[in-house]
Copies of this chain bind each other. A is one copy, B any other.
C-alpha cells in the first residue's frame, strides 16, 4: 500500500514527536529545527530528518519546521481525530480504568460499550459506558462497525474473545492480557505490563543506564 514500507521503529517514534511538538505549541514556540528537537528529545538530528522525510518534506531549508504544521501532519499520519469506535471486553479494574481515561476521546477514540461475563455487572454503567453480556459481542460489533476491541479479560479468555472479534470484522485488537493472540487479517497491539516491569527490574538489578 505504501511505496516503501515504513519501518516499525519509525512508526513508534511518531507519537513521541507528536508529544514534543504539542508541548512546544503550548509553549508558544512557532518554529523548531531538527537540531533543537534532537537536543530536546535525546535523538540524533539526522534521524529526525530521515524519519520525517519518509512521509514527505515538512520543513524548509535554512528555516526548520513550523511547529503547528508539523504537529498536525504527524497527527494526520497517525490517523488521529478520525473518530474510531472502540469497545472493552472485560469490565474489570483495567477495563474501567481505560474507560475512564479522557485522553482517548480527545484524539477521536471513543469507547462505546463494555462486555463482560459477570451477571452482577451486566447492565451497569461505568463512566457512562454500559456493560453488555458477552453473548452480544459479535452482533454488536457487526451492527455498529466497531474498529477496535480492547481485551482486558483474564488470559484464558483472550483467544476466544479475539476469535469473535475477528469473525465480526473488527480491524484492530488492543491486547492487555498476557496471552499471545493468534490472529489473521487483524492488527494486534500488545501491551505487556509484566514484561515492562521485568525489564525495569533487570535494569535496576544491573545498573543499566542508557
Contacts from A to B (Cβ < 8 Å): 1-2, 5-6, 11-12, 14-16, 18-19, 77-80, 82, 84, 92-94, 96-98, 100-101, 103-104, 107, 109, 147-148, 171-172, 174, 178, 180, 187, 189, 191-209
Contact = CB atoms under 8 A, between A and B. Distances in A.
Given A14-B198, A92-B97, 12 more contacts: A11-B202, A12-B199, A14-B202, A16-B195, A79-B205, A104-B194, A171-B204, A172-B204, A187-B208, A189-B197, A191-B191, A191-B196
Contacts of A195: 12, 15-16
A101 B196 CA distance: 14
Contact of A96 (B80, B97, B172): B97
Contact of A107 (B78, B92, B101, B194): B194
A80 B148 contact: no
A198 B172 CA distance: 12
Quickly give the copy total for this chain: 2
A187 B204 contact: yes
A200 B172 contact: yes
A77 B208 CA distance: 13
Given A93-B97, A109-B197, A203 B191 contact: no
Contacts of A205: 79, 82
Contacts of A148: 200-201, 204
B100 A93 contact: yes
A79 B201 contact: yes
Contact of A80 (B97, B147, B201, B209): B201
A11 B100 contact: no
A196 B172 contact: no
Nearest to A187: B203
Contacts of A189: 196-197, 199-200, 203
